[in-house]
Structure 1
Amino acid sequence: MAITPADIEHLIREALPNAEITIQGDDGQHFAAEVIDASFAGMNRVQQQRLVNAALKEKIDSGELHALALTTRAPE
């Protein structure tokens, strides 16, 4: 079964419940996500993206989530 944008959002939301999350992509393999969360304040971009990737690790490792372009930031 292909992963959906809603699945990705759910997994990220489990790790970052207050985040603003936007997921784009509908081919079941290639997605773009923007994640904005206050917990990112003081973190560099690599740290922010590692946090999001950790929430998606199982799906990435299994190959269910093939490609994700990820944009992260703290709110302005």
Structure 2
Amino acid sequence: MTPEQMKERLSQNYPNCKIEVYDLTGTQDHYEVFVESDKFAGLSRIQQHQHVMSCFGPELKTGEVHALSIKTKIP
């Protein structure tokens, strides 16, 4: 999965939000993502991260995305 594909997936789930995706190793399987969304209002940090992780469930299960570091923010 490319950084562009990850950003597109996140954009579908969090439209009109600030999203950044970084490939940490250049191997397209270790990523850091930043999502700033009002959808996180009222959610704990763990719930926010689970929400983002659910966008990549299949890729995390198969190992296509091996590592995913998540940073979230409420505007």
Is the 8 Å Cα contact of residues 20 and 37 (structure 1) preserved in structure 2? yes
Aligned residues: 73
Is the 8 Å Cα contact of residues 21 and 35 (structure 1) preserved in structure 2? yes
In the alignment, which residue of structure 2 is the partner of 1:32? 32
Mapping of 1:5-44 within 5 angstroms?
5-25=3-23, 26-44=26-44
TM-score (normalizing by structure 1):
0.86
**Alpha-carbon separation, structure 1, partners of 2:6 and 2:61:** 14
User: Structure 1 runs of 4+ off > 6 angstroms?
Assistant: none
Show structure 2 runs of 5+ residues with no match. Answer: none
Is 1:69 matched with 2:66?
no
Paired-residue identity, %: 29
**Alpha-carbon separation, structure 2, partners of 1:62 and 1:33:** 19
**Alpha-carbon separation, structure 1, partners of 2:46 and 2:16:** 20
Deviation at 1:18, TM superposition (A): 2.2
Cα RMSD for the two superposed structures = 1.1
In the alignment, which residue of structure 1 is the partner of 2:46? 46
| Paired AA for residue 18 in structure 1 | N
